[in-house]
Amino acid sequence: METVAQTPKYSLNEEQERKLILREYRSLLRSLKSKIKPGDKDLLRRAFEVSAEAHKTMRRKSGEPYILHPLAVAKVCVEEIGLGVRSTICALMHDTVEDTDVTLEDIEREFGNEIARIVDGLTKISNVIDVNASQQAENFKKILLTLTDDPRVILIKLADRLHNMRTLESMKREKQLKIASETVYVYAPLAHRMGLYNIKTEMEDLAMKYMEPETYRDIAQKLAETKRERSKFINEFIKPIKEKLEKNQFKFEIYGRPKSIHSISSKMKKKGVDFEEVYDLFAIRVILDSPPEKEKEDCWKVYSMITDEYTPAPERLRDWLSNPKSNGYEALHTTVMGPQGKWVEVQIRTKRMNEIAEKGLAAHWKYKEETSDESRFEKWFQQIREMISGQETDSIDFLQDFKTSFLAEEIYVYTPKGDVKMLPVGSTALDFAFAIHSAIGVKTIGAKVNHKLVPLSHKLRSGDQIEIITSNKQKPSEDWLGFVVTAKAKGRIKDALKEEKKKIGDEGKYAVQRKLEGMNAAMNQHNIDELVQWYKLPSHADLFYQVAIKNIDLKDLKEFKVTGDKIEAPKPVKIFDTKPEYNPQHHTITRKDTELIIFGESSDKIVYNLANCCKPIPGDDVFGFITTGKGLTIHRTNCPNAAKLLASYGHRVVKTKWAKNKEISFLTGLKIVGMDDVGVVNKITSLISGDLKINIAAITIEAKEGLFEGNIKLYVHDKEELDELVQRLKDLPGIESVERYDTEDIS
C-alpha cells in the first residue's frame, strides 16, 4: 500500500507567521518560568533571535517557517525531558551551524564554551546517519563520545528526533521509512536507556505508523472501540484498592493507562495471538506521595494490600526497588488475576520514582544529591568510554555491538565474593569473564554457575553467581565471537585473534618473499597488491595468513608475468554460458510484465529477488534494497531485518510498490492450528483448492493431544487473495488461529 504523504496546504501570510512564531516563543518561556534566573531571559532572547535570523529564509517540507522546529524541540526538552535554560539555548541553536552561516566561533563568542561544545556535538550527530554504513558507525561513535562528555547532547538530539517523527507526514515515503526505521533501531532504545519511557513509546508508535500502517490503524481502531469497556473494568478493579489505601491514610494517585500500540503489536507477534487475546492491554499505576526514607516500605505495603485483594502470578514480580535499572528506573511491578478472569499488570512507585521514569536522566540528576549510591549512569558511561577508546575498527558491527551491549535490558549477576556485576540480557559466562578483566577473559577455559560446571557459551540469568576457571595455555578462538554479546568481550577477542593471526601470517610473509625473489621480482607494495587482488582478499595480512595455513598454493605464481621487478596477474578467461538456467525466484521486469514498479529507474529490465527472510507478495508494504552482488532484493517493511537494513544502510533503499498482475503467482506459507477433528484436512483443502482455486505446493499436518498444527505452502497472486483465504479459514469451525509465516524460509 502506497502512503506517500502529500505536502499539507500551508497558508499563512507574513504577519500571521510572525505572530505564530512569537506565540510559540512566549509559550516556551512560560514553560521555563520556574528555572529562569536573572540574566537568563536576555540570553534566551538572543538565542531565539540568532536562530530566527539564521533560518529566516528556510522552510520545512510542510511549508512552515523553519524556526518553528527549533522552538518545538526546545519545548520538548523543557516540558517532556525536564531540561533547563542552557539546554534550551542549545536546542534553539541545534541546526544553525550545520544549515546556516552561523559558525561555532560565533556561538562560543556569544554564549560561551559550554553551549558551543553541546551545539558542536549536535552538529556532529546531524551528519551521522548517512553516507555509508562504516562512516555511519564512525559518526555514531562520535555521538557517544560527546554523550559521555555531556549527556545533554543526546537528550536534545532525542527531542529533535521526536519532533521530526511527529512531523513526518510531509516527507516522501522512502524518507519516512528510513527515518522511522532508524528511530526504532537506534533512537528509541537510546531513549529507553536514558530512562525516557514516554518518549521511547511515542517514537516506537510513530515509527510503526509509517512502517506498518495497516497494523497500526487496526490496533488503534480496536483500542478506541474497546475504550468504554476497558474504563469500566479499570474502575471495577481499582475500587477495592482505593478503599484500602484511603483507609490506611496513604496519599496516592491510581489510574489505568493503555499499553502502546507498538507493545501490543509486539505481544501479538511474539505470542501469535489476536488483539482480543492480548491480556495486558493496559497497566494500573499506583503513585505514592512518600518521604524518601519510607519509599521502599510504603511500596511493599501497597503491594501487600493489592495481593490480599487479587491473586498474583509469582513469576511476574519485578522488584526494581532493591535493584534499580541502570537508567535509574525504580518501581515494583506485579501481575494479578483481576475480575472476569483477566490478568492485570500493576506498577507501584512513588512521585520521585515516577518523575525519574518519565524524565529519565534529567530527573535522575535532580535527585542525585540525595543518594550516596554511585550513579549507575556513571558506570554505564564509563563502560561506553572504554568500548569506544578500545575499538579501532571501522566497525560496521559497531552499531549492532552497541545495541546488544548498551541498549539491551540488563541482568545482575554475582562474583564468588558477592560483588554485583551488571550485564546485558543474553550475556554468557565468557562475557562475565571479560567483564571482570580482559586478561581473565582470554584465558578462560570454563565456568561454574551456582557451583555447577557450565560451557563458556552458557547464558546467564539474573541472580547467578559465577566463578571463572582459567589456564595460561588457553587462547581465544574464532567461535567465541559467535556467543559473546558485550562489546568489550568482542573487541578483546578480535584483538587477540588479530595478534595470533599476525604471528602465523609472519611465516606466510617469508614464504611469499622467498617465492617472489625466486621469480626475480621484488617484495614491494605493488606486487603484494597484485596478489591480494588476484586472490580476492581484503588485505595483505589476510594474504600472508592464507599462505601460512596452506589455503593458498604459491605454485599459481608461475602463471604471472614478470617485467623488471614487477609481477602482472594473468587475465582471466571469460566463459559464456549460452543457456541461462531458469530460476523462478528471479523475476525480470519488462514493459509488459510490471508486477512491481521500481521508482527512479528508467531501464527496461530490472532483475530483482524476493527476500527469503520475509517472502513478500503483491500488496505487501515493501521496499527495495540493493544488496552487494545480488542486485535488488525486495523486503516487507515489517520484515524482521527491515529496521536494521533501513537504519544502517538507508542510502541503498529503493522505493517500490506493486502493480496489479494476475499472471504471476508467489509462494507463501500459512500455519493453521485447530481442534483435531475428523475431516478437518478435507475441509481445509476443499476450501483452498475447490472454492478459491488456489494452488497448494505442500501440506503437512501433525495432530497431537486433540490439537492439530498444519503447515501449508501455496501460490497466491497477491495479498488480497491471501487475506481472503486467511479470513475464510478462520471462519471454519474448530480453527483456532491462521498465521502467515513471517521469518521462516519456505522456499
Q: Which residues are catalytic?
A: 98-99
Residue 207: name the closest of 238, 176, 236, 170 by CA: 176
Distance CA 487, CA 508 (A): 31
Within a 10 A sphere around the Cβ of 227, how many other Cβ atoms? 11
Distance CA 671, CA 272 (A): 11
Place of cell 499499553: 259
Residue 285: name the closest of 228, 322, 245, 325 by CA: 245
The whole-angstrom distance between residue 297's C-alpha and the CA centroid of its chain comes to: 37
For 296, residues 6+ apart whose C-beta sits below 8 A from its C-beta are: 321, 322
- The radius of gyration of the chain from alpha carbons, rounded to an integer in Å, stands at 30
**143-147 contacts at long range (C-beta below 8 A, 24 or more positions apart):** 144/384, 144/388, 144/402, 145/388, 146/120, 146/121, 147/121, 147/381, 147/384
φ/ψ of residue 481, rounded to 5: -60, -25
Within a 10 A sphere around the Cβ of 438, how many other Cβ atoms? 19
Distance CA 325, CA 335 (A): 19
For 98, residues 6+ apart whose C-beta sits below 8 A from its C-beta are: 123, 126, 127
Distance CA 338, CA 108 (A): 59
Q: Which amino acid is at 670?
A: L
Place of cell 521462516: 744
Residue 161: name the closest of 92, 100, 60, 73 by CA: 73
Question: Burial code of 175-200, b = ≥16 C-beta within 10 A, e = fewer?
Answer: bbbbbbbbbbbbbbbbbbbbbbbbbb
Distance CA 13, CA 10 (A): 10
Place of cell 474448530: 734
Within a 10 A sphere around the Cβ of 243, how many other Cβ atoms? 12
